[in-house]
Amino acid sequence: MSTQESYVTEDGRTIGPTVMEMKNITLRFGGVKAITDISFDIREGEIRAIIGPNGAGKSSMLNVISGFYVPQEGEVWYKGAKRPPMKPYEVAQQGIARTFQNIALFEGMTVLDNVMTGRMRQMNAGLLSQAIWMGKAQQEEVENREFVEKIIDFLEIQAIRKTPVGRLPYGLKKRVELARALAAEPSILLLDEPMAGMNVEEKEDMSRFILDMNDEFGTTIALIEHDMGVVMDLSDRVVVMDYGKKIGDGTPDEVRNNQAVIDAYLGVAHD
């Protein structure tokens, strides 16, 4: 499955070697098995989707990747090394950023400030310098603001730059969250249901942003999504989960023709 040679996709993007590999992950909450013995990999520059019906364990999987949950069994390999159990912030420091299913922004702060928080990892000025805002702190702020402005331009949210996030409609909040994640210059971006609750037009916009992000910044993207149409159009490879198990893995076409996947989605009697 995880060959190491780079290849070029039909639409001209280069997919590199594996950057992250999940090996036989099992996650339990008490007696409940949320994830059972799942293995898959994410390659550099690809858009990797995790799909499955409600309760299949998709979000749990994403939380394992982001370090929020520590699996009882199995190993997470990142950039060729086995990752020890980590706190989420340590994972973030390694270059893995995420968005949340139920939006986690600072409601009272402006869009600009929210996106700036995504640059935390790039700010190293000392406390004193920060407090009097001179020297390194000032220089850092200018540099980071410039980067953030490029993201704002990229996601076309200039008009709401100074608007408090609490006043924004849902679709725009999602976009702001994406901006914040992108501001961290992640090597892997995890998107938890980026299109949930959006209308067709918003979904189209979001899809375009995801594709452009991947294209423009070369960001590796792992996303969870319910909307099958969107997933099949966007992704290079898809992992399908059902009841905590992996039931399919491959290109959208392979997955689409996989009998187990069809059964899971259309429903068959479970003996």
- Chain residues binding another protein by CB under 8 A are 11-13, 145-146, 149-150, 152-154, 156, 158-159, 161, 208, 211-212, 215-216
φ/ψ of residue 219, rounded to 5: -70, 135
Give 87 or 150: the residue with its C-beta nearer to another protein: 150
Residue with tokens 């540099």: 143
- The CB-of-151 to another protein minimum distance in angstroms stands at 10
Torsion of the alpha carbons at 94, 99, 253 and 11, rounded to the nearest 10: -70
Environment class of 127 (CB within 10 Å of its CB; exposed 0-12, middle 13-18, buried 19+): exposed
Q: What element of type H or E holds 145?
A: helix 136-154
Task: Assign residue 259 a region (left: φ > 0; alpha: ψ between -120 and 50; beta: otherwise).
Answer: alpha
- The CB-of-228 to another protein minimum distance in angstroms stands at 21
- The CB-of-171 to another protein minimum distance in angstroms stands at 14
Give 157 or 188: the residue with its C-beta nearer to another protein: 157
- The CB-of-229 to another protein minimum distance in angstroms stands at 16
**What is the number of other CB atoms lying within 10 angstroms of the CB of residue 168?**
18
- The CB-of-122 to another protein minimum distance in angstroms stands at 17
If you ran DSSP here, which 8-state letter would residue 159 be given? Answer: G
Give 18 or 219: the residue with its C-beta nearer to another protein: 219
- The CB-of-45 to another protein minimum distance in angstroms stands at 13
Q: What element of type H or E holds 15?
A: strand 14-15
Give 5 or 146: the residue with its C-beta nearer to another protein: 146
Give 216 or 233: the residue with its C-beta nearer to another protein: 216
β-pair partners for 81: 78
Give 101 or 138: the residue with its C-beta nearer to another protein: 138
